[in-house]
Structure 1
Amino acid sequence: MDMVVEKEAPVAVETGTVLVVDDDKPFRERLSRFFERQGFDVVSCTGVVEARAQAAQLKPAFAVVDMRLDDGNGVDLVEELRAIRADMRVVILTAYGNLASAVAAIRTGAVDYLAKPADPEDVVKSLTADRGERPEPPENPMSADRVRWEHIQRVYELCNRNVSETARRLNMHRRTLQRILAKRSPR
Structure 2
Amino acid sequence: MNMSNGGGMQRNLFSSGRILLVESDAPFRRSLENGVKRAGYSFDSCSTCDQARRLAEAFRYSVCVVEYHLRDGNGARLVAELKNAQANLRTVLISFYDLEWISRDVVPVADVFLKKPFDLLDFERILESLTSAVRSQALMRGISNTLDQTPAPILREGVL
TM-score greater than 0.5 by the shorter chain = yes
Are the equivalent residues in 2 in contact too, given 1:15–1:39 (CA < 8 A)?
no
Partner SS state of residue 104, structure 1: helix
Shift of 1:100: 4.2
CA distance in 2, matches of 1:105, 1:135: 9
Asked if structure 1 preserves the Cα contact closer than 8 Å seen for 2:56 and 2:82, the reply is: yes
Q: Any idea what SS the aligned residue of 1:96 has?
A: coil
How far the C-alpha of 1:56 sits from its partner, in A, is 1.5
Residue 102 of structure 2 is matched in structure 1 by 101
Please tell me whether the aligned partners of residues 114 and 157 of structure 2 are also in contact (alpha carbons under 8 angstroms): no
Q: After superposition, what is the alpha-carbon deviation per residue over 1:122-176, rounded to whole angstroms, capped at 9, x for unaligned? A: 22333333534859999xx42xxxxxxxxxxxxxxxxxxxxxxxxxxxxxxxxxx
**Residue 118 of structure 1: SS of its match in structure 2?**
coil
Provide structure 1 residue ranges, at least 5 long, that are not aligned to the other structure. 1-13, 143-187
Unmatched runs of 5 consecutive residues or more in structure 2: 1-14, 134-150
Aligned to 1:116: 116
How far apart are the structure 1 equivalents of 2:57 and 2:29? 20
> Partner of 1:27 in structure 2?
28
C-alpha deviation, 1:116, in angstroms: 0.8
Partner residue of 1:92? 93
Q: List aligned pairs for 1:166-181, cutoff 5 A.
A: none
Q: Is contact 2:114–2:155 with CA below 8 Å preserved after alignment?
A: no
Deviation at 1:43, TM superposition (A): 0.4
Deviations 1:73-127 (A, max 9, x none): 10000111102211111100001224141342121x2101111112222223333
Q: How does 1:153-168 map to 2 (within 5 A)?
A: none
Larger fraction in helix: 1
Higher relative contact order (CA 8 A, sep 6+): 2
Aligned residues: 126
Tell me the amino acid that sits aligned with residue 91 of structure 1.
V
Kept after mapping to 2: 8 A contact 1:126/1:134: no
